[in-house]
Structure 1
Amino acid sequence: MNKSNISKLKLFLVGLENRYAENLSIFKDINVVYSTGLKTFKGVAKIDNNLLKYNFNGVTKEISISELFNTITKEAERYDSLSLIYSERGEIISITADNKNVSVKNTQIKDIESNKKSKKDDFPGNTSTLLNRDYYIKVGKADALLKEINIMTKDGKIKNDKVRKYNQIDHYVELLSEILDDLPRNKTINILDCGCGKSYLSFVLNYYFTEVKKRKCHFIGLDYSKSVIDSSKKIAQNLGYRNMEFHAVDIKDYKTDKNINVVISLHACDTATDMALALGIKLDSDIIISVPCCHKELLSQYKYDPLKSVLKHGVFKTRFADILTDGMRSLLLEAKGYDVSVVEYISPLETPKNIMIKAIKKYDENTEAMDEYMNLMYNFNVYPALYSYLNEW
């Protein structure tokens, strides 16, 4: 290649070098093909154990991005043309260069629509089917993710027994999408998943906000079980999601210097939900999202004589305990300066534990809400775990 176009190539590579530094956590690989006549020579650069490694002519070496691009421009002098593909999650940048021209093109990875529409009869015995809606986590584009979290078969179909989970996580993304759009765009969003389990929700949100919304984000998963944390680490490694970290730790024992923007908790059992809410409040998180699971704590505590004749029935007493628990959680969030809304996350036909608490930090502490909360504690003779955790921390 001539010197003039080599100089143009260098300018494009400087831009890629800056992009690499800014978006390292979503970088996938660089493929370069040199051509002379009918002969081609290929080089591949990938991240391995946080090191960039470049293989060319059967030799692999550790290399910095600057050294890599210097090597590519020097090699380009020996050939008639080159084609370079720079791949990130959700986007590729291609550079072509020869003696006539140097050009660059950005390409979004497009959706691949499924040719087969799922019908109700395809899922016998299930209450769930694929819905007639525009999914946020699309079959085709998100196949690698859906297969890794065991929702999709190897041949690209949603598993019969995973349709319900697929619908749930997609609706969760829908509910969070607009809320997270309000977060600042000039910094990395730190998202803390409390009681993450196998972290399916974090993986799905990571995919959506990184590859669809093009937002910089970092995920932290917490769970006391080392085995599920190890499983989450393995999935992240398989997917190449380097903007994630996982810790086998009790929620109440977690400490961080990071500015946490979002705290999420999906079906954390009983008072584990309270730990997650308390941690979110303690960290002054911008957003707290919780879908509570079982409610046992207040059931054995609360008493309310005006409703004694009604609450003598165990079913009513249990259901009222659920309402009281989540109602007081929501009120205490308000007292701590959050704008709170409570919605049905999914249909109660899917699961009775379908309440989502959404809290957005808007104000200073609300003393009136705190007084109401204290009155409820007195009137119902309860001492909720959330209040206890906040006092302890």
Structure 2
Amino acid sequence: MLILFLDNFRGKANGDSMNKQSINKIKVFLMGLQGRFLENSSIFKNIIVTYTAGLKEFKGIGSFEDEKIRYNFNGKTEVLDITNTLNKIANDSENYETVTILYKERGTDIVITGDNKNVKMINTEVKEGPLVSAKEDDGTSTHGFSETSTLLNRDYYIKADRADALLKEIGIMSKEGKIKNDKIRKYNQIDHYVELLEGVLDSLPKNEIITVLDCGCGKSYLTFVLNYYLTEVKKRKCHFIGIDISEGVIESSKKMAENLGYRNMEFHAIDIKKYRPNKKVHVVISLHACDTATDMAIAMGIKLACDCIIAVPCCQRDILNQYSYQPFKGILKYGILKARMADVLTDGMRSMLLEAKGFNVSVVEYISPLETPKNLMIRALKTSKEKDSVMDEYISLMSSLNVYPALYRFLNEGWEV
């Protein structure tokens, strides 16, 4: 049982300070803040307390430090746990006429105000300044964008007036708060990415911390976007893990997470086959991982018994170098057609194997083929037990095409996770 506050309050004899009834109401609200912090401290940003006595203001500021609060008030800085921080704020409130407590989380501000007459709490979503399109700028941005690059007439999932810190960090928005003309296409792409995952995200287990593993994360831009959306829009507790073989991109991702204050992220420079998660993984993501790296990520998701696998494949060469099919001999002699057929076979057989492993699979167009021919997204949700009939069909297809796909190989070789 948590004991939050002391019972002995130090009231002023002159009667200008808040009465015990108001202090007790403040204490109740602060207990709620304590619960929020203990439930999910990763989204806490800071706490700002303003006291008044007459015409004077006295300010206390607390920031996160190693699961505690670094709190400065009246020239004194202390590192306290959340219980003692809120206990101090409650006790100090008795010495002043009014108090305003601003508790800031990612995407949410909670304001508690109190005086001798009333104590109230307001919970609001954070909204930054208004969006200014690059089309309305002073001409300093890059112009000449195509029709496919314009801001769309749609209700964006990643709203620029609320996600400005994120969009600035990933280079889509200027320091002045304008979507850059040469990044409008990218802004539309990341928003469509979230749109495609909306239903998937809603199907994930409730009342759990959702762990997302990004395999071959690169600079992790879309993972940062998904983190923002899950945490600040959907209000879901989540944790993100990014792995990549490149130490350079991992250090870059760590710096971005630090700049944004996204403490619910970790990054590791490691080969996917050597990585062993220390917690339940709900979602495995693989975005534009080249060739068999996509297969490694899908195999990881299956082996981890995760709830969802998202893959945007790239550079399918594995089956291209293997397959042959006599009835199509006259067609496959044309190299470009054989390559395109290999793309379809690769992603089709990946989808079949996921179905055989008990996933409900959909293959959708990720972005317009005008942007890139590599525009498919495979979405797989674990819904049932393995399906032997689909596996039999898959094995038969392997034989007909004379192929041994990387995904099947990774699932059946001695690779334990």
Equivalent in the alignment of 1:124 = 144
Deviation of the 1:128 alpha carbon: 2.2
Q: How far apart in 2 are the matches of 1:125 and 1:47?
A: 42
Deviation of the 1:123 alpha carbon: 4.2
Deviation of the 1:125 alpha carbon: 4.6
Local SS of the residue matching 2:391: helix
Equivalent in the alignment of 2:328 = 307
Local SS of the residue matching 1:350: coil
Deviation of the 1:116 alpha carbon: 4.6
1:31 correspondence with 2:48: yes
Equivalent in the alignment of 1:4 = 21
Deviations 1:298-332 (A, max 9, x none): 11111112111111111111101111111111111
1:377 correspondence with 2:394: no
Local SS of the residue matching 1:268: strand
Q: Say if 1:111 and 1:138, in contact at 8 Å, map to a contact too.
A: no
Deviation of the 1:36 alpha carbon: 0.3
1:168 correspondence with 2:189: yes
Local SS of the residue matching 2:314: coil
Q: Say if 1:34 and 1:42, in contact at 8 Å, map to a contact too.
A: yes
Equivalent in the alignment of 2:304 = 283
Q: How far apart in 2 are the matches of 1:7 and 1:225?
A: 54
Equivalent in the alignment of 1:47 = 64
Deviations 1:254-312 (A, max 9, x none): 11232211111110111000001000000111111111011111111111121111111
Deviations 1:183-209 (A, max 9, x none): 222111111111111111111011111
Q: How far apart in 2 are the matches of 1:68 and 1:315?
A: 66
Q: How far apart in 1 are the matches of 2:315 and 2:184?
A: 23
Scaled by the length of structure 2, the TM-score of the pair is 0.91
Local SS of the residue matching 1:104: strand
Equivalent in the alignment of 2:12 = none
Could you tell which deviates more after superposition, 31-40 or 13-22? 13-22
CA RMSD of aligned residues (A): 1.6
Q: 1:275 to 1:85 in 2, by over 3 A?
A: same
Deviation of the 1:160 alpha carbon: 2.5
Could you tell which deviates more after superposition, 67-76 or 325-334? 67-76
Equivalent in the alignment of 2:92 = 75
1:231 correspondence with 2:256: no
Equivalent in the alignment of 1:107 = 124
Local SS of the residue matching 2:328: helix
Scaled by the length of structure 1, the TM-score of the pair is 0.96
1:316 correspondence with 2:331: no
Same amino acid, percent of matched pairs: 62
Equivalent in the alignment of 1:87 = 104
Local SS of the residue matching 1:220: strand
Equivalent in the alignment of 1:390 = 411
Q: Say if 1:33 and 1:84, in contact at 8 Å, map to a contact too.
A: yes
The letter of the residue matching 1:239 is L
TM superposition outliers: structure 1 runs of 4+ over 6 Å = none
Local SS of the residue matching 2:289: coil
Q: How far apart in 2 are the matches of 1:199 and 1:115?
A: 26
Deviations 1:346-367 (A, max 9, x none): 1100111001111111111111
1:208 correspondence with 2:229: yes
Q: Determine which of 137, 141, 157 is the counterpart of 2:162.
A: 141
Q: Determine which of 339, 344, 368 is the counterpart of 1:347.
A: 368
| Ranges in structure 2 where 5+ consecutive residues have no aligned partner | 1-17
The letter of the residue matching 1:124 is G
Local SS of the residue matching 2:290: coil
How many residues are paired up? 392
Q: How far apart in 2 are the matches of 1:28 and 1:66?
A: 16
Q: Say if 2:113 and 2:120, in contact at 8 Å, map to a contact too.
A: yes
Deviation of the 1:117 alpha carbon: 7.9
Deviation of the 1:163 alpha carbon: 2.0
Deviation of the 1:111 alpha carbon: 6.5
Q: How far apart in 1 are the matches of 2:326 and 2:203?
A: 45
Q: Say if 1:192 and 1:263, in contact at 8 Å, map to a contact too.
A: yes
